[in-house]
Structure 1
Amino acid sequence: MTNFPFAIIGFDLDGTFLDTSGDLTAAVNHALASAGRPALTTAQVKTMIGGGARHMLTQGLEATGGCDPDAFRPLYKRMLAYYDAHIAVHSRPYPGALAALDELDARGVKTAIVTNKFESMARKLLTELGLLDRFATLIGGDTLGPDLAKPHRAPIDEMTRRLGGGSAAFVGDSIYDIMAARNAGIPSIAVSFGFLLQPIGELGADAIIDAYAELIPTLAQMKHRPS
């Protein structure tokens, strides 16, 4: 166990550690319905997740008739309020995710969530699912400021700083995740079961896993890349 190459493993939240697609779809559709727009399927909304709540609603509006800047703010507030009140109805960890955390804990590896979700919402979601204490730190899309979310390297650097430094790798499902890791000079692993915006092979990750059972063996075979 002492030969494990990483001291820190960071995880994206939506589409990586948690399947939040059901609750996010319900929130988007709540806003769309209030604007007289048709509902979107979960499969459609999955392609809109990853860049934050504003991006998700903008994409949803564009897909159902266009995004009017003047009407956006009230719809955005409506979506956030609904999501905040129904944040953990359907959301659950992906199969094997908790077992992977257990094994990382057993190896003395520190873990973190680094997400583009608002920190307050990510904290509430993890708390309601009883998972907040499983991670050493949480960094949201607004934690460091609106211009310092993924794909900026700042959240990854902050994760490493908070957890005392050392070799790190990052697990995610989007180009935002993989670019943030690359910009910070650390290896990345892409999950093929996430909310993919493009073919998994186009993300440029250092490795790809199809299930959490593959995470520890994949990490064990990777080498830390000094930043």
Structure 2
Amino acid sequence: MTERAPTIVFDLDGTLADTAPDLVATLNTLLLRENLPPQRIETARPFVGAGARALLERGFAAAGAPLGEMRASELLAEFLEFYEAQIADETRLFPGAERSLDRFQEAGFRLAVCTNKTERLAQRLLKRLGVADRFGAICGRETFAHMKPDGRALLSTIGRVGGDPARAVMVGDSQTDVAAARNAGAPVVAVDFGYSDPPVATFRPDRLISHFDELWDAAAGLLR
């Protein structure tokens, strides 16, 4: 190891936590209010990965009522307000995630989150899930002047925990995460249980895992 311990940086939605149930429930609250058919979780799950606005636009389009730009902006503010109130009603960490965080923490890794969710919502969600204290930094879309897939968002997150970019790994579930890692010059592990459409393997991450129990070996292999 170098002087500084290695760093592992996680995406949040679709990587650490299955947030789709609460996000889709919030979408359905707005759809029902507009007298539109709610979307089934199985149908709307792939809508989740690109952010709240994209979820709204894709959800309303699927319900037969495409949104204009102004109406989407109006609904986004309401969506975020409703979502915050129920942010962890049904959201859960993916199987093995907490155990994996503990293992990396016990081994001396610096842990951080780099998400395109707002920092405030990311902080709130991780506190509700009981794991916020595992992370030296929880960085969102407004934390820095840049957000993923800009590699500077990842590099700034690594810097915030005092990490070394040459000893850091990104863990994510989407093209955005893979691109952010590539743009930062960092290796990336992708989880195949997230929200990517098409499958995240399409974007050729350095490692692909199907369960958090596989993350230790994947990350260790990339850091050797």
Of 159, 162, 168 in structure 2, the residue corresponding to residue 161 of structure 1 is: 159
State the match for 1:90 in structure 2: 90
Whether 1:72 and 2:82 are equivalent positions in the alignment is no
Q: 1:73: Cα distance to partner?
A: 2.8
Q: Distance in 2 between matches of 1:14 and 1:48?
A: 12
Q: Distance in 1 between matches of 2:181 and 2:9?
A: 10
Structural mapping, 1:207-226, within 5 Å: 207-223=207-223
Q: Distance in 1 between matches of 2:50 and 2:150?
A: 12
Q: Distance in 1 between matches of 2:113 and 2:210?
A: 20
State the match for 1:9 in structure 2: 8
Amino acid at match of 1:203: F
Q: 1:199: Cα distance to partner?
A: 2.0
- On the 8 A contact 2:11/2:177 being kept in 1, the answer is yes
State the match for 2:195 in structure 1: 195
State the match for 1:41 in structure 2: 40
Q: Distance in 2 between matches of 1:81 and 1:43?
A: 24
State the match for 1:178 in structure 2: 178
Given the two structures, how large is their TM-score scaled by the length of structure 1? 0.91
State the match for 1:135 in structure 2: 135
Relative to structure 2, which stretch is displaced further, 65-74 or 33-42? Answer: 65-74
Q: 1:200: Cα distance to partner?
A: 2.9
Amino acid at match of 1:87: I
How much identity, in percent, do the aligned residues show?
A: 36
Gaps of 5+ in 2: none
Change (3 A) 1:161 1:183: same
For residue 47 of structure 1, give the secondary structure of its aligned residue in structure 2.
Answer: helix
- Return the structure number with greater helix share: 2
- On the 8 A contact 2:15/2:172 being kept in 1, the answer is yes
Gaps of 5+ in 1: none
Q: C-alpha root-mean-square deviation of aligned residues, in Å?
A: 1.8
Change (3 A) 1:109 1:74: same
Q: 1:142: Cα distance to partner?
A: 1.9
Q: Distance in 2 between matches of 1:38 and 1:160?
A: 43
Post-superposition Cα deviations, 1:187-206, rounded to whole Å, max 9, x if no partner, equal 00110111121123202100
State the match for 1:151 in structure 2: 149
Q: How many residues align?
A: 220
Q: Distance in 1 between matches of 2:6 and 2:172?
A: 18
Q: 1:6: Cα distance to partner?
A: 6.8
Q: Distance in 1 between matches of 2:174 and 2:138?
A: 18
Q: Distance in 2 between matches of 1:84 and 1:107?
A: 34
Q: Distance in 2 between matches of 1:6 and 1:25?
A: 38
Post-superposition Cα deviations, 1:105-154, rounded to whole Å, max 9, x if no partner, equal 11100111111111111111111222211111011012224xx2211112
- On the 8 A contact 2:8/2:109 being kept in 1, the answer is yes
State the match for 1:27 in structure 2: 26
Given the two structures, how large is their TM-score scaled by the length of structure 2? 0.92
- On the 8 A contact 1:126/1:132 being kept in 2, the answer is yes
